């Protein structure tokens, strides 16, 4: 598979991107067209720094923009920065696009960049890891900013493609200078209001019910869409969402359950766009507490024992999950990153040990748990494709080897509050690196949680060698050496059974015929590319 990141270019010591327009010129089509679409959940917040969740960030990307963006094939493209370079090994200089205005008419300048990145680093931000290497920000002039690091970071541009810029004046005026943390249940003006530089603005919003967006008249980009209004409706029920598409109530729905693909494709007015996700679903196990929560294994934590973690792995029939729950569309994951993520190596993408319930029972007995033990599994029921059904299946499989698991399935808001607060013993969570690079997976889901890294390492897996390699990978400019270190780090986690990768789900978007959208493997719908015949 062709990789979306041309890392050998991105890691060039003097990497300089020319300044073509982010969007090519396109003749505007007929005006007055409304695009109606539905997803299974609503954005968790309008604060662009509040939660590092793929859907929330991609949705907010219609209103807010980063310095460096992504094109239709996930390639790096200029956004609010027209070019970037390294005048010194530990400095990235960003040349800002001039003439850009926020939706309220305020000019975009270097002051907004520095304010936004300082805000990203504050407590309450879930995006701090994207600029964890940045130690200082310097305004060269109104349209030039230097980001300074303690040591070289050749991949900074790919790390910040979902790190959005806010208006300093707007945030300060409205008491939103600090992030409104979703995890801590903190809210401020930015939670329910937005003011970005993006192609759309929010015209009206009823959280959890409906949001209307309209084109931003101040947007700097050249128009490709002929949509004059967008109506977004969160519809959690798969059946209701599909029915809305088939009846013509909406123009697009996603995700489409595999069992409904044939119905949509068999309807003359609709079709299904298919692909494969870059998100890896994984199981995290508490490897930190001395006593496992909500367990009859009193005074100890069985999940600290590698034999127990391997037993859990060998008790799970990944083929059954793929075939019976995912309709044969998922890719069983042998490693923590998907094909298409930079650093992926197919040699690692195989099972660490075969599905073997009898071997799992023997491992549990060897570890001192011949009769198993009890614990709770945390799972979302509205975030990932078939999330609760997958968790139910895993609970059943673990029960066959003597592990008594109680499933705690909740809405994604409550789920993230719980697991990101490290209040979990065993959880299924997904991770798609915003940089589309393996370093993000290592830093954010596998590095020992400390300061701003390891945020999504909810089981507190810790291997000092993995931490050491993660730091080296971030600064290594030689692609071959870098990939070798990624392979080594991923192998260590795999051998430790530090996490259990499950799969990458298949992508399926249902659209009415005459609706033109760009299906990207990051599952992000970009409204600026939507057109209606």
pLDDT at 8: 33
Give the Cα separation of 494 and 377 in Å (integer).
21
Give the Cα separation of 447 and 452 in Å (integer).
10
pLDDT at 418: 95
Q: Angle of helix 357-366 relative to helix 306-315, nearest 10 degrees?
A: 160
3-state DSSP assignment of residue 483? helix
Q: What are the residue boundaries of the structural domains of the chain, listed by start?
A: 33-274+508-532, 280-504
pLDDT at 31: 53
Backbone angles phi, psi at 471, to 5 degrees: -65, -40
- Nearest in space to 472 (alpha carbons), one of 160, 153, 159, 157: 153
Backbone angles phi, psi at 173, to 5 degrees: -65, -35
The answer to whether 36 and 231 have CB atoms below 8 angstroms apart is: yes
Q: In terms of CATH, what superfamily is 33-274+508-532?
A: Periplasmic binding protein-like II (3.40.190.10)
The answer to whether 401 and 32 have CB atoms below 8 angstroms apart is: no
Element (H, E) at 532: strand 531-532
pTM of the model: 0.84
Residues of the chain scoring pLDDT < 50: 1-30
DSSP track, 330-372:
SEE-SSSS-TTSBT--GGG-S-SS---HHHHHHHHHHTT-TT-
Give the Cα separation of 150 and 144 in Å (integer).
20
Q: Which CATH number fits domain 280-504: 3.10.105.10, 3.90.380.10, 3.80.30.20, 3.30.930.10?
A: 3.10.105.10
The answer to whether 194 and 102 have CB atoms below 8 angstroms apart is: no
State how far Cα 446 lies from the chain centre: 15
Dihedral sign (CA 517, 279, 127, 110): negative
Give the Cα separation of 284 and 388 in Å (integer).
16
3-state DSSP assignment of residue 486? helix
Give the Cα separation of 528 and 289 in Å (integer).
47
pLDDT at 182: 86
- Nearest in space to 529 (alpha carbons), one of 227, 101, 213, 82: 227
Give the Cα separation of 518 and 177 in Å (integer).
34
- Nearest in space to 20 (alpha carbons), one of 79, 98, 73, 70: 79
């Amino acid at each position: 598979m062709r990789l979306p990141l041309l890392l050998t270019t991105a890691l060039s010591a003097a990497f300089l991107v020319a300044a073509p327009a982010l969007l090519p010129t396109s003749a505007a089509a007929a005006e007055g067209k409304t695009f109606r679409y539905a997803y299974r959940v609503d954005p968790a917040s309008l604060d662009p720094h509040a939660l590092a969740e793929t859907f929330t960030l991609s949705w907010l990307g219609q209103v807010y923009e980063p310095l460096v963006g992504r094109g239709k094939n996930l390639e790096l493209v200029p956004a609010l920065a027209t070019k970037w370079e390294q005048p010194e090994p530990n400095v990235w200089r960003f040349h800002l696009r001039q003439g850009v205005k926020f939706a309220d008419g305020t000019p975009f300048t270097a002051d907004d960049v520095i304010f936004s990145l300082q805000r990203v680093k504050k407590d309450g931000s879930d995006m701090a890891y994207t600029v964890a290497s940045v130690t200082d920000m310097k305004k060269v002039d109104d349209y030039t900013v230097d980001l300074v690091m303690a040591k070289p970071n050749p991949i900074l541009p790919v790390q910040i493609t979902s790190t959005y810029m806010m208006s300093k004046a707007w945030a300060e005026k409205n008491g939103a200078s600090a992030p409104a943390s979703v995890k801590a249940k903190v809210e401020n003006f930015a939670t329910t209001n937005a003011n970005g530089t993006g192609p759309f603005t929010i015209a009206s919003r009823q959280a959890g019910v409906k949001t209307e967006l309209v084109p931003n008249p101040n947007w700097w980009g050249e128009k490709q869409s002929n949509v004059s209004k967008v109506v977004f409706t969160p519809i959690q029920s798969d059946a209701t969402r599909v029915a809305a598409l088939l009846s013509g109530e909406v123009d697009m729905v996603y995700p489409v359950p595999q069992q409904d693909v044939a119905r949509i494709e068999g309807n003359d007015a609709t079709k299904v766009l298919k692909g494969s996700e870059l998100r890896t679903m994984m199981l995290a196990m508490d490897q930190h507490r001395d006593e496992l929560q909500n367990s009859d294994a009193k005074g100890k934590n069985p999940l600290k024992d590698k034999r127990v973690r391997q037993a859990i792995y060998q008790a799970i029939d990944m083929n059954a999950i793929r075939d019976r729950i995912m309709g044969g569309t998922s890719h069983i994951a042998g490693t923590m990153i998907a094909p298409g993520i930079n650093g992926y190596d197919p040699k690692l993408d195989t099972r660490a040990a075969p599905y073997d319930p009898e071997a799992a029972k023997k491992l549990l007995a060897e570890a001192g748990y011949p009769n198993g033990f009890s614990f709770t599994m945390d799972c979302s029921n509205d975030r990932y494709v078939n999330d609760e059904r997958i968790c139910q299946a895993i609970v059943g499989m673990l029960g066959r080897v003597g592990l008594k698991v109680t499933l705690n399935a909740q809405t994604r808001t409550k789920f993230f509050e719980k697991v990101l607060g490290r209040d979990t013993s065993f959880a299924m969570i997904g991770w798609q690196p915003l940089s589309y690079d393996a370093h993000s997976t290592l830093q954010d889901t596998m590095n020992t949680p400390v300061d701003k890294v390891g945020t999504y390492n909810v089981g507190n897996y810790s291997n000092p060698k993995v931490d050491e390699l993660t730091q080296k990978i971030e600064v290594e400019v030689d692609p071959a050496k870098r990939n070798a270190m990624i392979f080594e780090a991923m192998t260590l986690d795999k051998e430790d059974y530090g996490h259990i990768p499950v799969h990458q789900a298949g992508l399926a978007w249902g659209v009415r015929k005459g609706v033109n959208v760009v299906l990207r493997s990051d599952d992000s719908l970009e409204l600026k590319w939507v057109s209606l015949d």
